[in-house]
Structure 1
Amino acid sequence: MASGGHVDRIAAEFGVHFVASTKRADGRHQSKARRTCAALLKNHGAAHLRLVLGLINTEKNRGNWSAPVITAVSWLVLNKPQWVARRDFLEVFDSLDLAQFLLKARDINPSAPTVTLSVLLSYEFDQLIKSQLRGKAA
């Protein structure tokens, strides 16, 4: 079983500090998603949690430490291993604006933003890969 201290230490490696769910996360280094991260740690291990947090911890996307974003990125990593294995995965993933996609997901489906965000990220990533392949073929 994952301890709260372990999840806190892993998050701290990425500069993330958890705040109580009753408080507002102020700043790019605070998150209320401790339970989400603890569940990922318990179900998929420390390496998976580190990969997910590392993908979010880019200059462009840092600060998107919400549960829907963390869960959607985890889903992408777990369900699209062929994408993660790509040499250009990090470059392509980093071109995604997670904050904009979360806003779009909440607008499209306010009752299920996590699932909607997962679908949007998957679709956009697929389109980016296809456009790169077309560019290389030309």
Structure 2
Amino acid sequence: MASGGHVDRIAAEFGVHFVDHTIKPRGRHESRARRTCQTILKKHGPEHLRLVFGLINTTKNRGNWQAACFTAVSRLVLNKPDLLKRADFLDLFDRIDLDELLKSAKQANASAPTVTTAVLLAYEVNRLIAQQEAKEAA
């Protein structure tokens, strides 16, 4: 079973610490998503959780430590493992604005923002890859 201490240590590697779910995070280094991260750790292991933290920690997305973002990024790499083999994946991923995707997801489907964020993220990655391949083909 995944312990809260293990999840806290992984988060600390990325400069993140968890606050109680009743407290609004006061900065880009705080998150209320401890339980979500514990679930990801328990189901997929510490290396997967580190990968998810690392992807969210890209320059443009640093600070998007919401549960919906953790879940969406986790699902993306689980469902599309070939993305990780791309040399340009981190650069492509950093072009995605997770905060905007989450806002769009909440507007499109307020009752299921996590699932909607995951779908929008997959579409956006596919769009960026197609755009990149079109540039390379030209």
For this structure pair, what is the TM-score category when the shorter chain's length is used for normalisation? over 0.9
- Compute the displacement of 1:30 (Å): 0.4
Q: TM-score, normalised by structure 2?
A: 0.98
CA distance in 1, matches of 2:129, 2:114: 22
Q: How many residues align?
A: 138
User: TM-score, with normalisation over the residues of structure 1?
Assistant: 0.98
Question: Gaps (5+ residues) in structure 2?
Answer: none
Letter in 2 for 1:119: V
Listed as ranges, the gaps of 5+ residues in structure 1 are none
Task: Using the TM superposition, give the Cα deviation of residue 86 of structure 1 relative to its aligned residue in structure 2, in angstroms.
Answer: 1.1
- Tell me the distance in 2 between the aligned counterparts of 1:134 and 1:65: 32
- Over aligned residue pairs, what C-alpha RMSD do you find? 0.7
What aligned pairs does 1:121-136 form with structure 2 within 5 A after superposition?
A: 121-136=121-136
Deviant stretches of 4+, over 3 Å: none
Following superposition, the deviation at residue 80 of structure 1 comes to 0.5
Which whole-Å CA distance do the structure 1 matches of 2:27 and 2:131 have between them?
Answer: 35
Partner of 1:93: 93
**In structure 1, the residue corresponding to 2:87 is in which secondary structure?**
coil
Q: Which residue of 1 aligns with 2:20?
A: 20
The percent identity for this pair of structures is 63
Matched residue, 2:54? 54
Counterpart position of 2:74: 74
